[in-house]
Amino acid sequence: MDFPIVPFLLAVVLAFHGLRKKSLSPSGALAAFIVGFLMLSAKVRAFGVSLIVFYLVGSRATKAGKSTKAKLEEGHQEAGYRTAQQVLCNSFSAFLATVLWTALFVPGTYLAQYLPGWIEEKGEPYSADDWCPLSSSRGYGWSRFLLLIILGHFACCLGDTLASELGILSKSPPILITTLRSVPPGTNGGVSALGTFASVTGGIIMGLTMGVSLALESSACRAVLAPMLTELIFIGGVAGLFGSMVSSDESVFDREIRARLNRELFFQVDSLMGATIQRTRFSSKTKRILLDEIPISAFSPNEIKVVSGLDLLTNNQVNLLSSIITALATAYFA
């Protein structure tokens, strides 16, 4: 098999771009290169294209909200300096699904030899002219299942990124998803109309990206273009909402709308976990949210206020769990 030189070069360019723009730390750039190279090397180009779109749109959103976040969050890294841990937490389920899809549907890859026999027999050689990866009739449904895991993952992560980076630009305080009371901007589990719209938009972007990419590379997918695009855009939007964490403008909600919102958003995984099992601390002195990286010893006990949540998981761990849950739920229910 020929060495995938184009995916290799693209992965190098993206890693160095993140390093140069300070959106990635050195360890983050290395992790991004490894994940990027393997996903971009997949026979279904839509997997790698989805990764690129997520990275570029997410980085742009991070840049847009950096000055506001620096004012509201103690310890905020101005340019969104992402470490290897953050990169892996934002790519794990999509990366794993890509590797498994390649092992199942691309004969002769070294990955296939590590598959258990009962899984290996589910695969079949992929041909872009013969069948669409979204088809539920191929590979006992495994191709569709794994593709939707990838879509669900990136819809969740981009929806979360857009909501948290752009929702924090709101002039009014957010409301907590579990209690509907006002909380400081940047609080884990805060929700708003603006943030919710951003999360759905992020999911739609990923659904559209996946659909267009599949149509461009597969004649079998082009044959079902309209229903495929409609389905992927809808699934992406729902997955973006389902997995998002948002910040908000409290003033747009009356009591009836709040009650409806609370019912509808109760299943937003990232928001719900962020509000319950991830602690949000606030400094009454600096008027800023304290990020996980800030040690409590740097502040006097009297000035630290617990806004919400139990101190069980970090932000990275919440992001990892919410993306896995959203990805699996998307693939299972869709």
In 3D, which of 48, 99, 46 has the Cα closest to residue 208? Answer: 46
**Contact in structure between 280 and 294 (CB atoms under 8 Å):** no
Look up the domain containing 53 and give its range.
Answer: 5-333
Q: How far is residue 224's CA from residue 238's CA, in Å, rounded to a whole number? A: 21
Residue-wise pLDDT for 39-86, tens only, equals: 999 999 999 999 999 988 988 887 765 656 555 555 555 445 788 988
E strand or H helix at 73, and its extent? strand 73-74
- CA pseudo-torsion sign 220, 226, 228, 229: positive
Q: Which two tokens stand for residue 128?
A: 């872009």
**Contact in structure between 149 and 328 (CB atoms under 8 Å):** yes
Q: Which two tokens stand for residue 139?
A: 């590979």
Predicted confidence at residue 256, as pLDDT, reads 39
**Contact in structure between 207 and 235 (CB atoms under 8 Å):** yes
Q: Would you write out the chain's pLDDT as a tens digit for each of its 334 residues?
A: 578 899 999 999 999 988 888 888 899 999 999 999 999 999 999 999 999 999 889 888 877 656 565 555 555 554 457 889 889 988 999 999 999 999 889 887 776 666 666 565 667 889 999 999 999 988 889 999 999 999 999 999 998 888 877 777 766 667 766 667 777 665 666 677 787 888 899 999 999 999 999 999 999 999 999 999 999 999 999 999 887 643 333 333 333 333 433 333 334 455 565 556 665 666 666 656 656 556 565 666 666 766 666 667 777 787 888 889 899 999 998 8
Q: How far is residue 327's CA from residue 316's CA, in Å, rounded to a whole number? A: 16
Which pTM was predicted? Answer: 0.80
In 3D, which of 98, 78, 81 has the Cα closest to residue 34? Answer: 98
Predicted confidence at residue 251, as pLDDT, reads 30
Q: How far is residue 149's CA from residue 142's CA, in Å, rounded to a whole number? A: 10
Residue-wise pLDDT for 291-307, tens only, equals: 655 656 566 666 676 66
Distances (CA, A) of 234 to 52, 215, 229: 21, 17, 8
**Count of domains observed in the chain:** 1
Predicted confidence at residue 273, as pLDDT, reads 58
| 178 phi and psi angles, rounded to 5 deg | -90, -25
